[in-house]
Structure 1
Amino acid sequence: MIQPAVPINEKERLNALSAIELLQGVSEEEFDNITQLASYICKTPISLITLVEDEKNWFKSNHGGPPITETERKYSHCGHAILEPGNVMEVKDTRQDKRFCDNPFTTNPDLPILYYAGMPLLDNDGFAIGTLCVLDTKINRLSDEQKTALKNLAKQVEKLFELRRKNLHLEKVKKQLDDHNSLLKDFAGVVSHDMKMPLANMIITADLIKARYKNNVDEKGQQLLLNLKKSALKLSDYINGILNHYESDRIVASEEVEFNLHHLLEDIIDLLNITDNCEINFPPENMLLKCNRAALGQIFINLINNSIKYNNKDKIVIDIESAMDENHYYFTVTDNGIGIPEDQLSNIFKLFKTLYVTDRQGNQGNGIGLSTVKKLVESLDGKISVSSVLGESTSFKFDIKRA
């Protein structure tokens, strides 16, 4: 018996095998299908996908062979096969080959391996990491067509290996992006929270100066204080938007509960403390819902608040409709506000995208609210859309999955 030689690129070859991170001893259907097909085409009882490590071989797929998962490399047929990448190594009678004549697999009285044919499996850089091989307990010989088929099947195994390597790479990239995104979210949260108190102090201080020193500050100074307060309020609103956006993941994680739609809407109206001349029409039916109340409430808060802010009518009218089927709840929020230009409808759900229009108090939006709404809706396995008539109305339709 002659033990297989070690390839000159052994280190790189082993690194290539390790990079695929195949699960040893775990049967996978896509590999088992190939070994089953190889045995059928080559008319052999045994077919293996063998991976050659530094001291052992182990079988990614074992069709028809003994119930073992690995063998020692020094007795390996495949260890010899990988020395000639690109070629099928065929041994018609192992008893007549000096490399295998007294090999334990050849001399095994219960299951002698007298025939072997193996096609090396190459990674994307050409390193032979194993073989697709067929074995028989009697002398055999493959036809040219069978050898071609074995090569083609080996290429399919190589494609599975490469696909796995790429998926592993994408998973690692995704994890890195998730980690970076998590850090950014934490950073945004910390900075936003830390900025809220100084901003609140600025707003209060501006009001105090204006009230206490009103006789000492001329009209221009009063206007400057007003501008300072407006800027601080706008920045505060911006920070609150960022916090709501990044806290939406936490909101979505809230438990699903049963509640009445009208009760939810009444709580939202109380929370918004609406002072404008505003009529909000509830759906005729007070549906009993079972879903994420916190998330649905945040969606309605943003949509109703926008309907009030971006409205130039003397009387604000907001109509809310609802329906449901076996799988989803459906909602519509329609207002008689300023509307949205048709060429901007596709942009309004993008984070930080604004329409460069002012609200009822003359302030410009920050492009966070509707992005948060879309994120919440999609997190609840739903979709949202918008339609609008400029100067007349805007209608948001969305659905969420029932619990």
Structure 2
Amino acid sequence: MNVPYPKEKERKRLNALKAYFSLDSQEIPDFNNITSLAAKICATPIAFVSLVYKKDNLLLSCYGTDLDKSSRNISFCEHAVHKNSDLYLVSDTHKSEIFKNNPIVKQYDIQFYAGAPLVDPDGNTLGTLCVYDHKPRTLTDVQKETLTSLAEQVMNLLELRKKNRQFQQAEKELLERNQQLENFAHVVSHDLKSPLANIISLTRFLREENQEKFNDNSLQYLDYIEESSNTLKELIDRTLGYYKTNELLNEQKTDVPLRAFFEKIKELFIVKDGIFEYPTTGVAQNINEPALTRIMLNLIDNALKYNTAEIPKITAAYQSDEDYHTFKITDNGIGIAKDIQQDIFGLFKTTGVKDREGKHGTGIGLATVKNLVEKMGGRIRVESNLGKGSTFIFTLRK
């Protein structure tokens, strides 16, 4: 029969049990070594890891029998979980008023039981690690201590199982939220691009058609509208680029001749009287060229935009080892204050400084770089001093 137990305490115990074990499925963790060890140390033919649920005992591991559950209202473990002791022991069931007429005793010829409670960090007793024998007996002090210690190890495994399940659930939810955010950003960005293009076109049309009719203030307002629209367009384009980085990661790795690669990059930038130095020999083997191109375009674009030197200079360097490619992009630009160097790789994080055209950055370029680098198994960091330029160093796993 069930042991009387405070309802609220039992509710908390059952809720705690659900957090450790999926009670609607037959999940059996690998506790077999512990039940085998418990049986051998205690010299008994049977050992269980048992969780006491609403109507049944769920047997996570059995040594000496092939049961997977038993009825709670006639179980020994039902009594063990409600006792505030380190060990519940029945030396001779035939002499016990509680168990002498128990059907389990007769069906399985059980005369001895010892159960060490499985207690969670909140004090809830979830079940037992127990041993049975077919003859009356007791346990030595060493056997009792060992059974209790093994029960603690079972609880440690259950705790680890619980944390793993929580981590897996959190990871699943995070992936779902990231996917939702990516879809949202993609849809919103696309929905904004068309009306924004119309605003820019209409602004230019109004200026051209009314160049002589509008006064200087009105024309300046149109300039503000177009400038703001172009800034928003850049933000949208970069946002789409950030969320499309995963597509680049699907590209096949190839061997990339460095000279041809950097010459292609150089052609995309028009820098009057600028200097761009890069490797003219060597091959970067087994590398994702489209992703590397996106990284380089962002870094070099920043190096040029935030550069007030009379002759902008950018130097690209490359080296490799058995596992990683290492690239360095050095400029002679305005530099980055040390107290914000760790923040600039965050999405929408900026230095707060205007570029050479008087515009603030979007805070997406470096976030895109970091996102790509880390998903390609690498790291990125910056070394910089205000007024002396910056060096961005990143690695990519081969």
| TM-score interval (norm. to shorter) | 0.7 to 0.9
Is residue 2:88 matched to residue 1:89?
A: yes
1:234 equivalent in structure 2: 231
Question: What per-residue deviation string (whole Å, max 9, x for no partner) do you get for residues 267-300 of structure 1?
Answer: 4344x34253333222132314323222211111
Contact 1:85-1:120 within 8 A present in 2 as well: no
Residues of 1 paired with 2:343 and 2:58: CA distance? 54
> How many residue pairs were aligned?
394
**Could you state the TM-score of these two structures normalised by the residue count of structure 1?**
0.85
Is residue 2:35 matched to residue 1:35?
A: yes
2:57 equivalent in structure 1: 57
1:24 equivalent in structure 2: 26
3-state SS in 2 of match to 1:188: helix
Shift in CA distance, 11/362, structure 1 to aligned 2, threshold 3 Å: closer
**Counterpart residue identity of residue 381, structure 1:** G
Question: What per-residue deviation string (whole Å, max 9, x for no partner) do you get for residues 99-143 of structure 1?
Answer: 5446666556xx854321012334455544321112234332123
Contact 2:259-2:280 within 8 A present in 1 as well: no
3-state SS in 1 of match to 2:158: helix
Residues of 2 paired with 1:363 and 1:227: CA distance? 12
2:270 equivalent in structure 1: 274
Could you tell me how far 1:308 is from its partner in structure 2? 1.4
Could you tell me how far 1:312 is from its partner in structure 2? 1.4
Question: What per-residue deviation string (whole Å, max 9, x for no partner) do you get for residues 200-230 of structure 1?
Answer: 2222222223233222223333322222222
Could you tell me how far 1:375 is from its partner in structure 2? 1.4
Contact 2:248-2:291 within 8 A present in 1 as well: yes
1:372 equivalent in structure 2: 368
1:351 equivalent in structure 2: 347
Residues of 2 paired with 1:141 and 1:106: CA distance? 17
2:245 to 248, 260, 265: 248
3-state SS in 2 of match to 1:61: strand
Contact 2:257-2:281 within 8 A present in 1 as well: no
**Counterpart residue identity of residue 377, structure 1:** V
Residues of 2 paired with 1:230 and 1:280: CA distance? 29
Shift in CA distance, 357/69, structure 1 to aligned 2, threshold 3 Å: same
1:328 to 317, 320, 324: 324
Could you tell me how far 1:335 is from its partner in structure 2? 1.6
2:77 equivalent in structure 1: 78
Consecutive unaligned residues of structure 2, counting only runs of 5 or more, are none
Contact 1:261-1:289 within 8 A present in 2 as well: no
**Could you state the TM-score of these two structures normalised by the residue count of structure 2?**
0.86
Contact 2:377-2:397 within 8 A present in 1 as well: yes
Q: Percent identity?
A: 38
**Counterpart residue identity of residue 214, structure 2:** V
3-state SS in 2 of match to 1:57: strand
3-state SS in 2 of match to 1:217: coil
Shift in CA distance, 264/137, structure 1 to aligned 2, threshold 3 Å: farther
**Counterpart residue identity of residue 229, structure 1:** E
3-state SS in 2 of match to 1:348: coil
Deviates more, 1:215-224 or 1:305-314: 215-224
Contact 1:52-1:73 within 8 A present in 2 as well: yes
2:126 to 126, 129, 144: 129
3-state SS in 1 of match to 2:131: strand
Consecutive unaligned residues of structure 1, counting only runs of 5 or more, are none
Residues of 2 paired with 1:344 and 1:5: CA distance? 63
The alignment's C-alpha RMSD in Å is: 3.0
